[in-house]
Amino acid sequence: MRTSYQRPQAAIAPTFRGAASALAATAALAMAALHLGGNAQAGQEAGSDAEPVRSQALFLTAKRLIVSPGNVLENASVLVEDGKITAVGTDLKAPEGAQAIQGEVICAAFMDPWSTAGFDTGSVNSRDLNAATMATDALDPYGEKAVLEELAASGVLLTRSQVGLASDISGFGAVLRTPSAEVVLEDASMSAAIGAESPGFSPDQFGGRGGPQGFSFGPQSIDPIDRIGQIDKLVSELAAGQKYAEDMAEYEKELAEWKAAIADKEKELEDDFKKAKKAREKAVKDAEEDGEEVKEKKYKEDRRPREPRYDAEKAAFARVVQGEVPMVVHAERALEIRDLLRSTEPFKRLRLVIAGGTSALACKKELRERGVTVIVAPSPANPGGPVGELDPGLSLAAELDAAGVNVLIGTGNASALASRDLPLLAALAVGHGLDRDTALRAITSGPAATFDVADQVGTVKRGHAADLLVLSGDPLSSSSRVLAAISGGAVVPQATK
């Protein structure tokens, strides 16, 4: 029973001992084709299996090893064992039995900070979500394999995925290891959208992001008054979260005080018990003599403070206002971005991320001062962008970066397939003035840092999870190929054609 289309097997080089010197990747590939035996055979068997095989060590070698954007080692190697990077350096030797893979360049896997990959379309397009919704509940391990293969083939092995692109507030997004739908961090972000429209509803000329599936998000089709209302609603949710957090802290404080007071009281009562008992015995005796009922002394104490009523949505926003979870808001227009910045001013610990941000240049100063990150989605399909006003087109990322704003590059499309174009979009941004290292950072270590997974992924460091690419050329060159994609320490067999 065949369920999914299987690509031809990956061309993985067998162990080349002492071949760490400059062996062109193409040559390595040719040799792999000739010497299909030994480890390559093992790799092939592993490839036909659905579960990634992690036990085998990997030894990756390349002319350039991009540890992090701007930090390059020449003729260096990476050793991967048990899913982790265990060594990075220029003088490493391949251990016995390790599978060797060679290429021109090694870099961290690309991470799309604004994607829907991994989740079922019903949940992605749902409008019935709330702040307490977990996107990971919509994980679809049986989703279209072909899409995930396309993503892997373009080097996008990590995503910060969310559901409810059409929902005002859509709950917690997650960082996923896309090829295996493995969750790296389940509460990586809170997502909201200003002026979102359900996909397929607004015609394409309003221009969403024109993904390959033709889905689009036309912010135009929602009235400006409604958009202001959406901002108000979002801010009031944040305020409710703030209040909830304060009430909780207050309650905990009061409770501690009450407990201490009661403990003191209890001790006092215990100490006085003998006296009290004697007094009572006397009272009982007196009452009996008088033929009356014993009148007990009335006991009084402070009541236990009451816990604020649990509310899942407020609790979620409480985490957001306290800066535990960054909040991604899809907003395109200058007015909305400015309004959003102004009205979220009181929430000092809020970690705001603007997604889309076509007209973000109008507020570049505030964005820089507030430390707001912008996920730019350069769209070659719609010159002029979805808004039209103040739209710098493909140079947005460069201009924001020049203004000192932290820039990431993402795709933001209801179709998971859109994430495939991530490296090309980064390359386009370079073509329009963005610094090459900044562009690479915007799709590797930048998203990892923004969404709190920088200690696991995003850079090639010892101890990090092995989410790596071996490429035939520069990561941001459209003519570079993925020679091997390593996700969580396992070679993704479908990534290489």
Interface with other proteins (CB under 8 A): 1-5, 119-120, 122-123, 126, 128-130, 132-135, 137-144, 146, 163-164, 171, 262, 265-266, 269-270, 272-273, 275-281, 296-297, 299, 301, 304, 310, 312
CB of 408 to other proteins, least distance (A): 24
Is there a contact between 179 and 485 (Cβ–Cβ < 8 Å)?
yes
CB of 96 to other proteins, least distance (A): 33
Q: What is the DSSP string of 355-401?
A: EE-TTGGGGHHHHHHHT-EEEE---TTSTTTTT-TT--GGGHHHHHH
Q: Where are the beta strands (DSSP E) in 29-149?
A: 58-68, 71-81, 84-89, 99-108, 110-115
CB of 124 to other proteins, least distance (A): 8
What is d(CA 404, CA 402) in angstroms, rounded to the nearest whole number? 5
Q: Among residues 249 and 279, whose Cβ is nearest to other proteins?
A: 279
Q: Among residues 186 and 474, whose Cβ is nearest to other proteins?
A: 186
Q: Among residues 235 and 320, whose Cβ is nearest to other proteins?
A: 320
Q: Among residues 134 and 222, whose Cβ is nearest to other proteins?
A: 134
CB of 136 to other proteins, least distance (A): 8
Q: Among residues 134 and 228, whose Cβ is nearest to other proteins?
A: 134
What is d(CA 404, CA 368) in angstroms, rounded to the nearest whole number? 6
**CA dist list (Å): 137 to 15, 87, 314:** 41, 35, 20
Q: Among residues 140 and 247, whose Cβ is nearest to other proteins?
A: 140
Q: Among residues 268 and 455, whose Cβ is nearest to other proteins?
A: 268
Residue in this structure with the two tokens 């104490």, named with its chain if needed:
301
Q: What is the DSSP string of 215-252?
A: ----GGGS-HHHHHHHHHHHHHHHHHHHHHHHHHHHHH
CB of 443 to other proteins, least distance (A): 26
φ and ψ at 414, to 5 degrees? -65, -20
CB of 477 to other proteins, least distance (A): 28
CB of 129 to other proteins, least distance (A): 6
CB of 181 to other proteins, least distance (A): 10
What is d(CA 317, CA 241) in angstroms, rounded to the nearest whole number? 4
Name the helix (H) or strand (E) containing 38: none
70 half-sphere exposure, CB direction, 13 A CA radius: 9
| Alpha-helical runs (H) found in 97-223 | 121-124, 145-153
CB of 194 to other proteins, least distance (A): 21
What is d(CA 94, CA 61) in angstroms, rounded to the nearest whole number? 10
- Enter the tokens of residue 434: 């963005």
Q: Among residues 144 and 435, whose Cβ is nearest to other proteins?
A: 144
Helix (H, G, I), strand (E, B) or coil at 465: strand
Q: Among residues 134 and 402, whose Cβ is nearest to other proteins?
A: 134
